[in-house]
Structure 1
Amino acid sequence: MDLRSRRSHRDRDLGRRPHHQGQEVMSHDNMPEEHKLPEAHDASHGHDVAPHGDPFADPGLPVHEPRRTDIDERAAQRAERQVSLMFIVSMLATVGFIASYVVFPIDKIIYVFPLGHVSALNLALGLTLGVALFCIGAGAVHWARTLMSDHEVPAERHAIEADDEVRADVIEQFKTGAAESGFGRRKMIRNTLIGSMALVPLSGVVLLRDLGPLPETKLDHTGWQEATPAQPIQLINMNTELPMKAEDIVIGSLTFAKPQGLTQDDEQFQEKIAKDALMLVRIAPEDIKDTSSRDLGFEGILAYSKICTHVGCPISLYEQQTHHALCPCHQSTFDLSDGARVIFGPAGHPLPQLKITTDEKGFLVATGDFSEPVGPSFWERSA
């Protein structure tokens, strides 16, 4: 199709005859009625918003249709009861959230299809808090859609900064909106909303329970605290579950140990091993720089806490030539030949050391607790 043909088709689509030489172009006024474009009309303001024949005319706002609750007081009262019921359910769910802390023990496991085995406490907390928040949101939405004013009000775009007149107008509109919302007149909705909003923050207060009770001296001691020179505790190899002898540990080796009597069948095994885990190295006595550290060991065998003093990660990387132990989490590096002092990284304290010796059978034993609290530093570190 050539340019003239395309122009002819375009002119025909616009409702006018092709403009050939010697022919007059038909205007909108002398165009037949069936070819004229409809005039744009603003239904909300009752005046034309664009010139005749503008295909992109603003149709204006649709005619406002009242809702059932606007013309039927019984429907409005029913909606009010529905909104209030949602707020009441929110209050009950918040009470249930708080009660869950009392009813369900922290280690209670239940089977729920299709989730499987889950914590009863976590499930109860999630459901009750979810219902409490959902009902507040759903009640507010239902209130706005059924009882608050829904008249459409167009507004022209304006600068971000408002002048005094606009600010005064906004305040006036806020007051008008507050009056139209019925917040002051519909006391049932107001009181139940205030009640639900007042109770929900209590959920956060109850969560503070997880921060207690206070540790008191629990962070100062480990499972080795019961060891005494008269009743020492044997060191058990973490891999073989067998007592360890001094001759089993060679120079340059790294071995992990735990106190005698601690088994994986213990319900609190993970909690205890997080403090009791040992890291044993054997260094030639002449290479040990710190004399007090050498005295706590036995023939060059030194027992340090395996728990990093930064954030509590387990240390498992050892360099034989330099006697450096590296924490894989944040690269804190400890010199085990010099009292496990920190030579690099964010850790703030050396690794605590355990005093060890051998019993009459040659097994390695501990005669006391660590020299200082193990793990990350805390606000009342006692050493």
Structure 2
Amino acid sequence: MTAIQPSEAPSTPGPADQGSILTNIQVLRGLAALLVVFVHLQDLVRLGGASQGIFAWGNSGVDVFFVISGLIMVQATARRPVGPALFMRQRLTRVVPLYWLVTLGVFTLVWLWPGLFSSTDADPIKLAKSLAFIPYQRPDGELHPLVFLGWTLNYEMAFYLLFSVGLLAGRARLVLPLFVLGLAVVAGLIFAPTTPLARFYTAPVILEFAGGMLLGAGRGRLPQGRVAALAAAIAGACALVLMLAAPTLWPGVDRAVAAGLPALVIVAAALMLEKSGYVAKWPMARRIGDASYSIYLTHFFVTAAVTKLAAKLGMTSWPELAGLMMLAFGLVILAGLAVHYWVELPLARLFKPGARPWSRDQESPAKAKLATTGPLDH
């Protein structure tokens, strides 16, 4: 667990995406990314006889990401006006370069070695749809792009587009996206669409963005102080337990309720703790949070490689698999940090609106790191 210690004064947002990032929220982003890693280590532990879905609770990391995304978009546009075009350009700059790079990498690997990834083939049409964030149904029935994790980015990009249109309303910028998100879910519940695309964009999970937006709008009204911090810590811990236990406690309940509501409480607790002066102090936790987008997009390369190595070497005992899991997590974090500092940040600086990529007057890496957040910021 990351040590939480009281700061000398209540924390205020740092300079990220127009001044919107909070330390505790960054740490939560890192935790969310690492939760998703568990999901993709399931094939490894199944070598030892574990059942399918043993780490299904790791999927809740995505729900935390969605809530944080709604929160950060409100925070990022609260301090100074920003128009739809600039907003979308900033979002595309943050989301697209690394995602396209990983997508093209997967396409190349599958083209060279067909069958390397299950349910993924080197189809140029599917590549184009993946790069354009257009959902399509794969042979396994899932609406996943070439990089299967990209289904979350399809939601993110749709949310960004909706949010950007709402910016036309100025101070009432949240009204349109909140209304449309709610209307889409209600329509989905009433009409029960059968087409995959309609089901995708009317799924209740999109309400997690709305929850994050409402939390961002009401952040200034959250209580603070020692009593509030204690209540937040207890509520956040209980919500985390319920979120992770949700697949076992209520497997038939929609994730927007089973995982989305606890995720909302967890994010609110993190905000209250920081507002009360209790901030995560472990530097590595913040670095992992900064690199959460890179970790999220690249970790499956590591988990797949470790799983294939274990299968090839016949490592199926639980002590061996436990050691390999620890190794995989270490490699996932190292790879994610490397991609973040050496690929993600340089790309962000290169494509940043108004940037002069070939100028000698570049931002320092440290400043650039603070000035950007990932899309699952995201």
TM-score by shorter chain over 0.5: no
With normalisation by structure 1, the TM-score equals 0.20
Which of the pair has more CA radius of gyration? 1
TM-score (normalizing by structure 2): 0.20
- Structure that is richer in strand per residue: 1
Q: Which has the higher helix share?
A: 2
- The structure showing larger relative contact order (alpha-carbon pairs under 8 Å, at least 6 residues apart) is 2
